[in-house]
Amino acid sequence: MAGDARAVRPDDDHVRPLRLLRVVDQDAQPATIQADHPSQPGWANPALPSLRVLVVDDEAPALAEMVYLLSRDDRIGEIHSAASGSAALKALQDMTFDVVFSDIQMPGLDGLDLARVLSRFTTRPQVVFVTAFDEHAVVAFELQATDYVMKPVRFERLAEAVRRVVTVAAERNAGTTNTDEVIPVELGGTTQFVLRSTVRYVEAQGDYARLHCDGASHLVRIPVRELAERWAEAGFARIHRSTLVALAYVDEMRVDDGHCAVRLGGVWLSVSRRHTRELRDRLVRATAAHRRPCP
C-alpha cells in the first residue's frame, strides 16, 4: 500500500492540528510511517529533534495505539513498527534508530532479551519499555532502560518518556556522561524510583545491594561490583569489598593507628587498607563543583 496516506485529526483537546502521515508499506515487517511536516510552528524549527523510533509489540491494537500516540509528538520524525522481537531485530540490523519502544512479554524473543542483544551493539539505541506489568522494572533498569512506561499508556506519560530520550540523546551528542540514573526499587508490592544522586553509600548483601539514602534504605537486585563499575564516573568510590560511598557525601576521613574510616553525616564506615590511598587521592582531587551544596 505504498503511497497510501492517512490523517490524524484533532478529535479531542489534546490532539494538535492535522498531521499527514504517509504509510510506506513494505512487503514484510517492519512497517514504516514517515511524517510530512506541514508549515506549522515547531515543525519548521530545525532545533527540534527528529527521532527515528521503532515500536515493538505483538498485539496489533497496542502497536497501533503506540504508533498513533507517538505520531502526535513533534519530536518524532519517523516511526517504524515490528510485531515481534525477531522482526525488530531484523529492522535494527538494517538501519539505525534513536530509540526502541518495546513491549516486554512477547512470544519468542521478548523485550528484555531484545534489550540484552542491543546492549552488545556498537551504536546502541535507547530503550523504553512499555508494559502492563511492573515486576520487570528492576531488570529493565539493570539493562539501562531510559524509561519504563505502564499500560494503558497516556499521551502525557509517553511525552515524558520522549523528553527523557531527547535529554539522553543530547547529552550523548555533547559527550557528557553525568545523567542522573533512576533506580527502581520494590517497596510493599509497588515499584518506586530512586535517583542515584540521593544515594549516600551502598552495602553488599549477597547478590543484592542496599542503597542508603537520607533517612531510608532500599534493597535492589544489583551486585555491588556492578554498581562500582557503573557509578565510578558519577563520583562513587569503593572503600571496601562490600561498600561504596558517594564522594560528595563524605564529610570527614580519619586515619588512626593505620585504620581508616570516613564519616557521612552521622555514619562512620571503615575503609580497607587496599582502598585507603585511592580514596584519599580521589577526595583530594574532588573539586567544590563536584560536592553537594551546603544547606
| DSSP-assigned letters across all residues of 20-34 | EEEEE--SSSPEEEE
The domain segmentation of the chain, as residue ranges, is 5-174, 182-290
Highest CATH level, class, for 182-290: mainly beta
- Please say if the pLDDT value at position 88 is more than 90: yes
Q: Same CATH topology for 5-174 and 182-290?
A: no
CA distance 278 to 228: 14
CATH architecture of the domain with range 5-174: 3-Layer(aba) Sandwich (3.40)
E-strand stretches of the chain: 5-8, 19-24, 31-36, 51-56, 76-82, 99-102, 126-131, 147-150, 182-187, 190-195, 201-205, 208-213, 216-220, 236-240, 243-246, 252-256, 259-264, 267-271
pLDDT at 222: 87
CA distance 133 to 275: 41
- Please say if the pLDDT value at position 2 is more than 70: no
pLDDT per residue over 275-290, tens digit each?
998 888 888 776 444 4
- Please say if the pLDDT value at position 235 is more than 60: yes
pLDDT per residue over 62-74, tens digit each?
999 999 999 999 9
pLDDT at 23: 33
